[in-house]
Every structure is written in C-alpha cells, then in structure tokens.
Amino acid sequence: MSEQHNLETVRTRLANLLEQIESLDPEKLTIEDIDRYISLLNEMEEKLNK
C-alpha cells in the first residue's frame, strides 16, 4: 500500500472513531470500552509509523 493510501485509511478510521466517542453515553462507558478505543488509536499510530 502506498503511504497516501495508508494516510487516507487512518484518517477515515480516526473520523469514525471520533464519531463513536462523541456518541457515547459516559454513564455507560466501561473500562473495556476505553481499552478498545486506546487499542484502536495505537493501531492507527502503528500504521502511520510504517
């Protein structure tokens, strides 16, 4: 994959992630949810660093 394609993929995934986070009900958020979001951010960071 090209660097430009990787960047576009990460941008799309980040936009989707931000939409999900904005729609969360803080009262229903669990530690597992937070861990999953952190994991997704780490995956995106790794992809950008390739």
- What pLDDT, in 10s, does the model give residues 1-50? 587 888 888 899 999 999 999 999 999 999 999 999 999 999 888 888 87
Question: CA separation (Å) from 24 to 21, 37, 46?
Answer: 5, 12, 25
Q: What pLDDT sits at residue 1?
A: 57
User: Between 31-49 and 3-22, two packed helices, what is the crossing angle to 10 degrees?
Assistant: 160
Comparing C-alpha atoms, which of 41, 1, 43 is closest to residue 17?
Answer: 41
What pTM does this model have? 0.73
The position carrying tokens 């949810």 is 33
